[in-house]
Amino acid sequence: LLRVNAAGVVLILVCTLGDLSNPELRILTNQLDDIRHGGQEVEVKRLSIRGLLPETEYYMTYDGSTTMPACHETVTWIILNKPIYITKQQMFLLHVSIPKHILKLAETIKLVEIK
């Protein structure tokens, strides 16, 4: 159950490198070339949020804080116990899509080094 007075909910998807990726994640990463700058938008015509999630009924929740300053303790975190799969190419696309100032500010973001 989620707290009614929580300011937000954060769902953590653990990604594991694999030869094939989650089909719904593929839909999202295929759009990254079209949103290179802040303020740009792209319409995703078909996306199943349920399909983006791993098949599991087990998860952990805890009340915590946001990861960006001022780190207010107003968020309920949901951590799923199974990963979804992502390819090295998709991981690279995500890495280069995140603005550098966000990477510097969000020290909790850990990205796999792509070689």
The domain segmentation of the chain, as residue ranges, is 8-105
Retrieve residue 64's tokens. 């915590």
CATH superfamily, domain at 8-105: Alpha carbonic anhydrase (3.10.200.10)
Contact by Cβ (8 Å): 52, 24:
yes
Give the whole-angstrom CA distance, residue 32 versus residue 90: 10
Beta strand pairing call for 59-64 and 75-80: antiparallel
Indicate the pTM of the whole model: 0.67
42-84 pLDDT, tens digit per residue, is: 888 889 989 999 999 999 998 988 777 777 888 888 999 999 9
pLDDT tier at 115, thresholds 50, 70, 90: very low
Q: Which two tokens stand for residue 79?
A: 């951590």
The pLDDT > 70 percentage for the chain reads 79
